[in-house]
Amino acid sequence: MTMRFIFVAICLAALGREPAGLAKPPNILWLSAEDISPHLGCYGDDRAITPNLDRLAKQGVRYTHAFTTAGVCAPCRSGIITGMYQTTLGTHHMRCNAKLPSFVKPFPILLREAGYYCTNNSKTDYQFSAPRETWDASNGRAHWKNRKAGQPFFAVFNFVGCHESGIAGESKYLSVTANLKPSQRQDPGTLKLPPYYPDTPVVREDWKRNYELITAMDAWIGEHLRALEASGESDNTIVFFWSDHGVGLPRAKRWLYDSGTRIPLIVRIPVSFREGKQGRQHTIDSQLISSIDFAPTVLNLAGVDVPGHMQGRAFLGGKLGAARRYVYGARDRMDERYDIIRMVRDSRFRYIRNYEPLKPYYQYMNTPEKGATMKEIRRLEKTGGLSGAALLFSAGRKPVEELYDLKNDPHEVNNLAANPEHSDRLKTMREAHYRWVRETRDIGLLPEPEIIACEKVHGARYDILRQDGSTAVMTRLGETAALASSGPTALPRLLTAMDDSDAAVRYWGATGVGNIAPERNPKAMAVMHKALGDSSASVRIAAGRALARMGEPKEALPTLKQALAGPHQWARLQAVIVLDEMEEQARPAIPELKQALVGQPNKYIVRVANRALNDLLGTNNQVR
**The amino acid at 30:** W
Q: How far apart are CA 250 and CA 245, in angstroms?
A: 13
What does 128-189 look like in DSSP terms, one character per residue?
Answer: B---GGG-SEESTT--GGGSPTT--EEEEEEE-TTSHHHHH-HHHHHHHTTT--GGG---GG
Asked whether 53 and 42 are in contact (CB, 8 A), the reply is: yes
Q: How far apart are CA 594 and CA 559, in angstroms?
A: 17
As to burial, measured by CB atoms within 10 angstroms (0-12 exposed, 13-18 middle, 19+ buried), residue 324 is buried
In the residue annotation, 73 being an active-site residue is answered as yes
What does 456-519 look like in DSSP terms, one character per residue?
Answer: HHHSSGGGGGGSTTHHHHHHHHHHHHHHTTS-GGGHHHHHHHTT-SSHHHHHHHHHHHHHH--T
First-to-last alpha carbon distance for the chain, in angstroms, is 69
Which of 11, 42, 73, 76 is the catalytic position? 73
Asked whether 569 and 596 are in contact (CB, 8 A), the reply is: no
* DSSP percent split of the chain into helix, strand, coil, nearest 5: 50, 10, 40
How many whole angstroms from its chain centre is CA 447? 18
Q: Report which of 480, 244, 495, 254 is spatially closest to residue 367, judged by C-alpha positions.
A: 254
How many whole angstroms from its chain centre is CA 516? 29
Helix segments in 43-134, DSSP class H = 51-59, 73-82, 86-89, 107-113
Q: How far apart are CA 536 and CA 453, in angstroms?
A: 10
Spell out a b/e string for 470-489, using b for 16 or more CB atoms within 10 Å of the CB, else e: eeebbebbbebbbbbbeeee
Q: Which is it for the CA torsion 76, 80, 85, 90, positive or negative? A: negative
Contact partners, residue 587, CB within 8 Å, separation at least 6:
616
Residues noted as catalytic: 73
